[in-house]
Amino acid sequence: MQDLLASVASALSHDPVLATYALAWVALDIWGAVTLVLAYRSRLQERDGQPHPAAHRWFPQRPSPK
């Protein structure tokens, strides 16, 4: 594993185009993860505002406010 990481580090340090692609890939992965979390949180808030949201396994049932 250390040899593989050393090889990747060497390739990235010697090839600026590959390093740019790798950086863009990581940036897109991070952007996608943040977008997914924000969308999920937005959907949770939207469901909280509904009087009787449909049951769904990805969205927990919350007790209705009294």
What's the whole-model pTM score? 0.67
The 10s digit of each residue's pLDDT in 32-62 is 999 999 999 999 888 888 888 888 888 887 6
Q: What is the pLDDT of residue 8?
A: 86
Query: Which domain covers residue 9, as residue numbers?
Result: 1-41
31 inside domain: yes
Measure Cα distances from 18 to 7, 8, 11, 27, 54 in Å: 13, 10, 8, 14, 47
Residue 51 forms part of a structural domain = no
Number of domains in the chain: 1
Residue 28 inside a domain? The answer is yes
At 50 the pLDDT is: 83
